[in-house]
Amino acid sequence: MTYIKDVERIALAVPDLAEAQAFFERWFGAEFEPEELIEDMGIRYRPFRVGNGRMELLEPTRDDSPVARFLKANGGPGVHHVTFEVDDLDKAIAELERRGGRIAYRHTYADGVTFEGKVWREAFVHPKDAFGVLIHLAEKKPVEL
């Protein structure tokens, strides 16, 4: 039994959201959702659908953001991370660690911060441990009123 619910999305780091959006719309018929801002990480992003799959474009809003560092280190755009959705982040981390995995970074957003109408809890597996891919574990819950 796996603790992974789904491959939730693939995130691409790009220097220009508008240019990348135009490409995915024109070539693949991508359907974009509204842009979101992750202020504490210095990132703007635009989620989109291609067929039944989900992706997102990430653009840095400041030079010290993870996406800016990625673009600089890799010499340009590319796959930034793959998101696996989990039902319960704490249980998923415990299971990952039980299997010998390690979490490199856990990110907590301030109270009231939502993305795409959901409250996100996140953890990351370092690319050095995952064949060069940053793995993002995400728990997404509806906003409680």
Tens of pLDDT, residues 39-95: 999 999 999 999 999 999 999 999 999 999 999 999 999 999 999 999 999 999 999
Cβ atoms of 99 and 35 closer than 8 Å: no
Domain boundaries, position 106: 6-142
- Select the more confidently predicted residue: 72 or 1: 72
Locate tokens 């240019």: which residue? 19
Domain count, the chain: 1
1 within domain boundaries: no
Per-residue pLDDT, 1 = 56
User: If you search the block for the tokens 């409680």, which residue do you land on?
Assistant: 144
Query: Is 25 domain-assigned?
Result: yes
Give the CATH number, domain containing residue 32.
3.10.180.10
